[in-house]
Amino acid sequence: MPGFFSKQRITASPDYNRWLVPPAALSVHLCIGQAYAFSVFNEPLTRVIGGSASAPDDWKLTELGWIFSLAIVFLGISAAFGGKWLEKVGPRLTMFVAACCFGGGFLISALGVFLHQIWLLYLGYGVIGGIGLGLGYVSPVSTLIKWFPDRRGMATGMAIMGFGGGAMIGAPLSVLLMDHFQSTVSVGVIETFLTMGGLYFISMTIGALTIRTPPEDWRPEGWKPPVLRNKMITHRHVHIDQALKTPQFYLLWLVLCLNVTAGIGVLGQASVMIQEIFKGLVTPAAAAGFVGLLSLFNMGGRFFWSTVSDYIGRKSTYFVFFAVGAGLYAAVPSVGMTGNIALFILLYAVILSMYGGGFSSIPAYLADIFGTRYVGGIHGRLLTAWSTAGVLGPVLVNYIREFQIAQGIAKTDAYNVTMYIMAGILLLGFFCNLLIKPVHEKHYMQHDEFDELDGAYPLDEYRNTNPSTLTKTAS
C-alpha cells in the first residue's frame, strides 16, 4: 500500500472537484507570504532586553536585517534544489516538509529571542524558515497546472496571488498578537512567534492533507487540447535537467530577473520616494498608505495578468509588461514634476501590478515552453532569478540615488535617473522575451527515455498504443 505521503495516495478520483485544489495551494501561499511582513518584528526585536527602549546589549537593525535576507536566499536555494525532489515525491510530502520548516523556523526563532542568541534567528527563520518558503512556494504549482490545462495562468495566478496576500495577513496579525502579548517584562515577540509558528504549521498541513493530483490522463469536462496549436505551447515534455541545456531557460531566467529587479527596487523605496518627490504634501502615514496600496496592486496583478495571459498568450503578456512598464517608468519623472500625485500613484499602481504579474505568469510560461511534467522543478530552478533580483534591485536603486545626491543633485530629482535606468532594464527584458522561441526538437523527452524521477514513462497515446516498446521498467 502506498505511504501516506506518496504520490499515488493523493491521486484524485475522476469525480473530484478541481476547484478544491486552489484553496489547498492558497493555504500554503497565504502562510509563507508572511515573509514580506517580517519587518514588523524588527523594531520590537531591537528592545528585547531594554523593554520600552533599546538597551546597549540589544540587537541592532543591521543585524536583524540579515534574517529576511537569509530567508530569501534560502528560498531560492531550496526551490532550486528541492524542485527535483518535489517531482519525485509529489506535492503532499513537499508541502508538509515546508510546513515543518516554516512553522519550526518560528519556534527556533522564539527560542533565539528567549536566549537572546541572534544566530538562532538566522538559523530558525532565515535558513530553516527560508527552506520552508522555497518548498512551499513551488510545491502546488505543477499540480495546479495539471488540474487547469485550460486555464494554466489563472490557476497559478491564484496561488501566487496568495503569496502577495500573505503579507497583508501576516503584518496586522503580528501587530495584533504583539499588542496582546506585550507586558512590562516582554515585548511579546516570543509568544507571537510561538503562536504564528503553530498557526502556520496547522494551515500549511491542512493544505498538504487536502492537495490532490489529477489522474494521469485526466481532462476537464468537455475540454480538448486545441487542434490548431499555438507554436509557443508544447504538448510534449522537457526533462528537468535537460531544460538547463536550453537557451529558453536562461532567457526566461533573464525575463523574470529583469522584471523583478525593476519592481523590487522601487517597492523597497516607495515610502521614501513619494515623500521626497512630493515634499510637504505626503506625510509618513500617507506614504505608508501608498505602500499598502502598491501591495494591493501587486497582489491583484498576480491574478489579473496571469488570467489575461491565458487569452493573449504568455509571450504577449510579457511584451506588455516590458513595453508598457518601460514607458511608465520613463513617465514618472515628468509626472513627478507636474505635482500630480493621483497620476503618480496610478503609474506606480500599474507598474506594481505588472511586477506581480511577472511572478504569477512565469509558471504557465514554463509549462508552455517545457511541458507540464517537470514544470514544478524547472520553476524552482528559475526562482534563483528572484533571489538575484532581490539583491540587485534595491542595491541598484540605493546606489544610483546615493551617487546622485553625492553629486549635488536635489533629493527630489535624485530618482529621475533611476527611473530611466529601470526603463532601460525593462527594454532589455523586452528583447530577451523577443528571443524566446519553441524548444529545439532534440531537447524533448523521447518515448524510450527512462524517467528516473518516478520510475514511469510519460503517459501518452504512444504508451497506450505501443506498450511493448517500453523495455525499461522501474526498479
Partner 1 sequence: MKNSKPFKPGQWVLLLVYWLYVAIPLAWGIWSTLRKAMVLFN
In the complex with partner 1, which residue's Cβ is closer, 90 or 166?
166
Please report how close the Cβ of residue 245 comes to partner 1 at its closest, in angstroms: 31
Cell of 263: 519592481
Cell of 50: 531594554
Please report how close the Cβ of residue 297 comes to partner 1 at its closest, in angstroms: 10
Residue 285 near partner 1 by CB under 8 A: yes
Please report how close the Cβ of residue 123 comes to partner 1 at its closest, in angstroms: 28
Residue 417 near partner 1 by CB under 8 A: no
Residue 400 near partner 1 by CB under 8 A: no
Cell of 14: 475522476
CB 253 within 8 Å of CB 384:
yes
In the complex with partner 1, which residue's Cβ is closer, 19 or 52?
19
Stretch that binds partner 1, among 162-170, 250-258, 316-324, 431-439 (CB under 8 A): 162-170
Among 81, 114, 181, 218, binds partner 1 (CB under 8 A): 218
Among 2, 3, 4, 20, binds partner 1 (CB under 8 A): 20
Please report how close the Cβ of residue 166 comes to partner 1 at its closest, in angstroms: 8
Please report how close the Cβ of residue 460 comes to partner 1 at its closest, in angstroms: 11
Q: Cα–Cα distance between 339 and 332 in angstroms, integer?
A: 11
Please report how close the Cβ of residue 345 comes to partner 1 at its closest, in angstroms: 7
Strand, helix or coil for residue 444 = strand
Among 27, 139, 195, 307, binds partner 1 (CB under 8 A): 27
Count of alpha carbons within 13 angstroms of residue 109, beta-carbon side: 33
Q: How many CB atoms lie within 10 A of CB 305?
A: 25
Strand, helix or coil for residue 216 = coil
* Dihedral-angle region of residue 440 (phi above 0 means left; psi in -120 to 50 means alpha; beta otherwise): beta
In the complex with partner 1, which residue's Cβ is closer, 206 or 320?
206
The DSSP annotation for 298-330 comes to HHHHHHHHHHHHHHH-HHHHHHHHHHHHHHHHH
In the complex with partner 1, which residue's Cβ is closer, 237 or 315?
237
Q: Cα–Cα distance between 96 and 11 in angstroms, integer?
A: 17
In the complex with partner 1, which residue's Cβ is closer, 120 or 345?
345
Q: Cα–Cα distance between 292 and 262 in angstroms, integer?
A: 19
Burial of 438 (0-12, 13-18, 19+ CB in 10 A): middle
Q: How many CB atoms lie within 10 A of CB 391?
A: 14
Adjacent-strand bridge partners of 444: 238
Span 288-307, contacts to partner 1 by CB under 8 A: 288-290, 292-293, 295-296, 299
Residue 222 near partner 1 by CB under 8 A: yes
The site string for partner 1 over 340-379 (x = CB under 8 A, - otherwise) reads -----x----------------------------------
Stretch that binds partner 1, among 18-26, 45-53, 76-84, 148-156 (CB under 8 A): 18-26
CB 354 within 8 Å of CB 301:
yes
Residue 210 near partner 1 by CB under 8 A: yes
* Dihedral-angle region of residue 279 (phi above 0 means left; psi in -120 to 50 means alpha; beta otherwise): beta
Cell of 389: 533580483
Among 65, 220, 327, 339, binds partner 1 (CB under 8 A): 220
In the complex with partner 1, which residue's Cβ is closer, 149 or 333?
149
Among 23, 149, 333, 438, binds partner 1 (CB under 8 A): 23
Among 51, 149, 215, 424, binds partner 1 (CB under 8 A): 215
Phi, psi values for residue 213, rounded to 5°: -100, 150
Total interface residues for partner 1 by CB under 8 A: 44
Q: Cα–Cα distance between 144 and 266 in angstroms, integer?
A: 31
CB 117 within 8 Å of CB 33:
no
In the complex with partner 1, which residue's Cβ is closer, 291 or 391?
291
In the complex with partner 1, which residue's Cβ is closer, 16 or 114?
16
Stretch that binds partner 1, among 213-221, 231-239, 449-457, 466-474 (CB under 8 A): 213-221
Among 5, 10, 26, 264, binds partner 1 (CB under 8 A): 26
The site string for partner 1 over 188-207 (x = CB under 8 A, - otherwise) reads ------------------x-
List Cα–Cα distances, 419 to 258, 273, 274, 291, in angstroms.
14, 11, 13, 18
Name the residue among 133, 138, 72 with its Cα closest to residue 374. Answer: 138
Residue 15 near partner 1 by CB under 8 A: yes
CA trace torsion 278, 279, 284, 290 (10° rounding): 0
Adjacent-strand bridge partners of 11: 213
Query: Applying CB under 8 A, which residues contact partner 1?
Result: 14-20, 23-24, 26-27, 30, 162, 165-172, 206, 210, 215, 217-222, 282-283, 285-290, 292-293, 295-296, 299, 345
